[in-house]
Amino acid sequence: MSQSIAHPALIEAPVLDVFAERWSTRIFDATAVIDEDALRSVLEAARWAPSASNTQPWHFIVGRRGTDTHAKLFDGLLDFNQAWAGTASVLIAFVTETERDGRALPWSEYDLGQSAAFLTVQAHAEGLATHQMGGIDRAKLRAAFDLPATYEPVSIMAVGTLGDPQLASEQLREREAAPRVRNSLEGILIAND
């Protein structure tokens, strides 16, 4: 990443560097233009996520900053996210197909989540910063992109280059500097025989 901010995870067992180093920033470089090859790679990684019965129920709406698509995606964010997400080079809406050919796809949101995770890991490997947001107006996004009833917007991800924290608001700088915390590994295991 372009800036010197680092938030290494306090890991309890060895993991790949990409997992220990990746974090969700809210400070993006408002002037950086997305590297199109890197963007294509992150979308390709998302395409190769596993899915139930290989249904691949995911769809993406990709908007580069300055385009009508980016503006519509930005408009579909809730207030706090709008305070910072517009500086990202790209906004990506993650949309799941909940039904196909009259049959429900009960695992579609889970599969979409895996696709988003694959995209996030590849983005970090490409030197891009990301932040996933669930604070969206689903109805507004559905209307803006004329989505069929069987397509459900689930989240939007900001993607871009890490920005200079000195150019961000004090509130964002404080959030960026806060320690990364997770529940303990033992605390999330229901059983581990």
Q: Examine residue 6 and state whether it is found in any structural domain, yes or no.
A: no
Separation in Å, CA 67 to CA 24, 35, 86, 91: 24, 16, 12, 10
55: exposed, middle or buried (Cβ count in 10 Å: 0-12, 13-18, 19+): middle
pLDDT tens digits, one per residue of 35-85: 999 999 999 999 999 999 999 999 999 999 999 999 999 999 998 899 899
What's the structural domain count of the chain? 1
The three-class DSSP label of residue 149 is coil
The three-class DSSP label of residue 134 is coil
Q: What is the pLDDT of residue 16?
A: 74
With a threshold of 0.85, does the pTM exceed it? yes
Q: Examine residue 17 and state whether it is found in any structural domain, yes or no.
A: no
Q: Examine residue 170 and state whether it is found in any structural domain, yes or no.
A: yes
What is the CATH classification number for the domain harbouring 109?
A: 3.40.109.10
Task: Give the range of the structural domain holding residue 82, as residue numbers without chain letter.
Answer: 22-178
Q: Examine residue 156 and state whether it is found in any structural domain, yes or no.
A: yes
pLDDT tens digits, one per residue of 158-172: 999 988 877 877 877
Q: Examine residue 117 and state whether it is found in any structural domain, yes or no.
A: yes
Q: Examine residue 13 and state whether it is found in any structural domain, yes or no.
A: no
pLDDT tens digits, one per residue of 101-160: 999 999 999 999 999 999 999 999 999 999 999 999 999 999 999 999 999 999 999 999
Q: Examine residue 147 and state whether it is found in any structural domain, yes or no.
A: yes
